[in-house]
A = this chain, B = another copy of it.
Amino acid sequence: MSNPTYTFKDFKSDQEVRWCPGCGDTAILMAVQKAMAELDHKKEDYAVVSGIGCSSRFPYYMNTYGFHGIHGRAGVLASGVKTANPKLSVWQITGDGDALAIGGNHFIHEIRRNVNVNILLFNNQIYGLTKGQYSPTSLFGQITKTSPYGTVEQPFHPGELVIGSQGKFFARSIDSKVKETTDILIEAEKHIGASVVEILQNCVIYNDGAYDIITSKETRDDNQIWLEHGKPMVFGKDNEKGLVLNGFKLKVVKIGENGIKESDILVHDATESDPSLHLALINMRVKDGFPVAFGVIRKVKSASYEMLVEQQIEEVKAKSKIKTMDDLLHSGSTWLVE
């Protein structure tokens, strides 16, 4: 039975998109719809679940099965859906507040268990829906509605937390890069296990320009590096810069300078199971003189939770004498009263 072919329009629901005009969420919606149209699932086999936040309104705009949950619980909602029915393609939409503040625990456990869910983390470094309080990814010193004198908390780096939670798939993208995001989402869907895709998302109302230093025309070539598995880690306007090892650290070099050849540049291996280098890539920041890493940074094979559950069920079923409820009721020691 071959699947129907879709266009992204097939995934638009009849509900009007209610995000602020210019909100980065809109572009991500398009990327998801495009990715689904390219993927090999039937429309009814997609389940899109979320928590609460601007970003979490997402399911309403998708013409798939959808569940707008409660704040912070997107991860467990998704885990429940996927474990109950592993045949579904489960997409979890969550914000930096939803996933990392109230939902932080479910987030790390979902990753640890490696439930085969695509986790799209819309990181706008702010609580949008509740009108602009700081989130666990807001910058140190950021002035927001609840930090009128600047926050005194260091932010989480989502990728770092993913690594700390035994994460096997981590990718990063930007809202405006619809094409790149689409491709990453397709790769995330195909990866078996919890695939976290952090999408830098601009909130035009409460945190506009948070990513300007990465995305502006003037700086983007120097401040973005798009990693591809098997390819050298180069960036810059003419791919003239690259990354090399420096002991247990990374270093930016210029090809041609100081005798650096292209072959000296590190080649990206997303499949390396040791997380140390991936962590270093994830942690690159503009303020330290590094470009920010995008693309699929880590993609390591590992059995997924719901598959292992199914497998164990099959094994136990094969061995056990108890096949039905009646068998169970009569198992062990019983006696007859006549």
Contact = CB atoms under 8 A, between A and B. Distances in A.
Interface in A141-172: 149-150, 152-157, 160-166
Contacts of A136: 109, 112
Contact of A166 (B113, B156, B162): B156
A334 to B, nearest CB: 22
Contacts of A105: 102-105
A308 interface: yes
A242 B212 CA distance: 46
A338 interface: no
A302 B149 CA distance: 20
B153 A113 contact: yes
A86 interface: no
A283 B163 CA distance: 12
Interface stretch (A38-46, A177-185, A230-238, A270-278): A270-278
Contacts of A275: 279, 283
A304 to B, nearest CB: 10
A303 to B, nearest CB: 8
A312 interface: yes
17 contacts: A108-B108, A108-B156, A108-B161, A112-B136, A112-B153, A112-B155, A113-B153, A149-B315, A161-B165, A163-B163, A164-B165, A245-B247, A249-B274, A274-B280, A274-B283, A275-B279, A276-B277
8 tightest Cβ-Cβ pairs between the two chains A and B? A164-B164, A152-B308, A105-B105, A104-B105, A248-B277, A161-B164, A276-B276, A276-B280
